[in-house]
Amino acid sequence: MALTPVPVALKALLGSVPAATEAERLPLARCAWRVLAEDVAALRTQPPFANSAMDGYAVLAADMEAGKVLRVIGESAAGRGFVGTVGAGEAVRIFTGAPMPQGADTILMQEDADGVGSAAVTVRVPAAKGKFLRPAGLDFREGDALLKAGRVLDSAALGLAAAMGHPSLPVRRRPRVAILATGDELVTPGAPAGPDQIVASNSFALMALVEKAGGEALDLGIARDDHDDLSAKIAAAREADADVLITLGGASVGEHDLVQEALTRAGMTLGFWKIAMRPGKPMMTGRLGRMVVVGLPGNPVSSIVCGHLFVLPLIEALLGMEDCARDRSIPAILGRDMPANDEREDYVRSDLEITAAGWRSTPSDRQDSSMLGTLARARCLTIRPAFAKPAKEGDACRVLVLR
């Protein structure tokens, strides 16, 4: 079977998504980092009235002459505007955000007036007409569609939604992602380990990736190398109504690699298997009913790298976000020489630092796919294209930032 290039595999995986998750309406206070399911328009105009951008005096531009004395006839504060009209030779003491009194068309900043706080002020530096005046609707007007479907509700978006008058928002349900580790050699952290066993780590790494991307991780535990146990765990994912099932390990071709066979028995339609990448070659995908299946390698680094390249975009697609297949890499320069590459695209654990010439990526010496310590220290993955020629320190490259 020919190896599938990474871009082709990603496009095929995203194309297997049946639909975005359904919308649910949540109170604004529970919408942080959720994804909008619909366009949202303003329910009010902001600001709803003309107001002052500075502390000073609301005046008429016609009175702006150096040395002219203006009679102060009242005060306008935020939440308590002046009731009345400003006429020639008059001024109203005004504070930032306070409503502009009727008749006034200019703000005289208090630093440009003498006698601040008294019954009369003198114009020391005249203000131009309309100076420091915020008109109604300066930010937006009722009916303006300011937040689009697919937008992640970060702090700025949530603040805008509140200012638009929305007490709740329609957001996408968080995709449910079931994660199943496999293998007789695995034990959970803290459990006694036999002489031939290791601690399962991949599940926790993938759960973190899923939660960061906006999904809901469901830990199915560890399935033994046994058809009955695998079948029961796969059935548990379907019973949980998972949108995605991620299996960890067992997708290769060894005698004890039973995952693909168990999934096929359960009715999975295989999408693709074996990717032209390192680490991560044994990855597979498929569909089991409406559930997308992603079989990740058992090697810890391989599963995490594949998680960044495939699982994160998959969750974005389920959340209805656009351009999920975009290039997420950034340009950098190499911090050391690199040899020629073969037919697989390499993702090399590297340090990343900013220099006068831009980002500099220095690959680590040790790249075995079982070594989580190297990955935890890495700040990026240096991408080496398939069939790349030898590269020298200082050559251009592209990197995928991890943290």
Q: What span, in angstroms and rounded, lies between the C-alpha atoms of 156 and 137?
A: 19
What pTM did the predictor assign? Answer: 0.89
CA distances from 120 to 57, 88, 366, 400 (A): 11, 14, 78, 64
332: Cα separation from own chain's centroid? 22
Side-chain-side CA neighbours of 52 within 13 Å: the count stands at: 31
Side-chain-side CA neighbours of 1 within 13 Å: the count stands at: 14
Q: What pLDDT, on a 0 to 100 scale, did the predictor assign at position 128?
A: 97
Q: What pLDDT, on a 0 to 100 scale, did the predictor assign at position 248?
A: 95
> SS3 string of 161-209?
HHHCCCCEEEEECCCEEEEEEECCCEECCCCCCCCCCEECCHHHHHHHH
The secondary structure of the chain in percent helix, strand, coil, rounded to multiples of 5, reads 20, 35, 45
**Residue 213: exposed, middle, or buried by beta-carbon count in 10 A (0-12, 13-18, 19+)?**
buried
Phi/psi for 295 (5° steps) reads -100, 110
Q: What pLDDT, on a 0 to 100 scale, did the predictor assign at position 389?
A: 96
Q: For residue 37, what are the contacts with CB-CB under 8 A and spacing of at least 6?
A: 20, 22, 23, 24, 149, 170, 171, 172, 320
pLDDT in tens, 327-374: 999 999 999 999 999 999 999 999 999 999 999 999 998 888 888 999
Q: What pLDDT, on a 0 to 100 scale, did the predictor assign at position 368?
A: 84
Q: What is the DSSP letter of 151?
A: -
Please count the other Cβ atoms lying within 10 Å of the Cβ belonging to residue 320.
20
From the list 268, 37, 298, 63, the residue with the least C-alpha distance to 175 is 37
Q: What span, in angstroms and rounded, lies between the C-alpha atoms of 243 and 137?
A: 43
Q: What pLDDT, on a 0 to 100 scale, did the predictor assign at position 239?
A: 97
Q: What pLDDT, on a 0 to 100 scale, did the predictor assign at position 1?
A: 59
Residues in the chain, pLDDT under 50: none
CB-based burial, 364-403: b 16+ in 10 Å, e otherwise: beebebebeebbeebbbbbbbebebeebeeeeebbbbebe
pLDDT in tens, 182-219: 999 999 999 999 898 999 999 999 999 999 999 999 99
**Residue 19: exposed, middle, or buried by beta-carbon count in 10 A (0-12, 13-18, 19+)?**
exposed
Q: What span, in angstroms and rounded, lies between the C-alpha atoms of 122 and 271?
A: 79
Q: What pLDDT, on a 0 to 100 scale, did the predictor assign at position 253?
A: 55
Residue tagged 């630092």 (tokens): 353
Q: Which amino acid is at 263?
A: L
Q: What pLDDT, on a 0 to 100 scale, did the predictor assign at position 403?
A: 86
CA distances from 22 to 246, 294, 320 (A): 21, 21, 10
Q: What is the DSSP letter of 311?
A: I
> SS3 string of 246-304?
EEECCCCCCCCCCHHHHHHHCCCEEEEECECEECCCCCEEEEECCEEEEEECCCHHHHH
Length of the chain: 403
Q: What pLDDT, on a 0 to 100 scale, did the predictor assign at position 251?
A: 64
Please count the other Cβ atoms lying within 10 Å of the Cβ belonging to residue 351.
15
Q: What is the DSSP letter of 112?
A: G
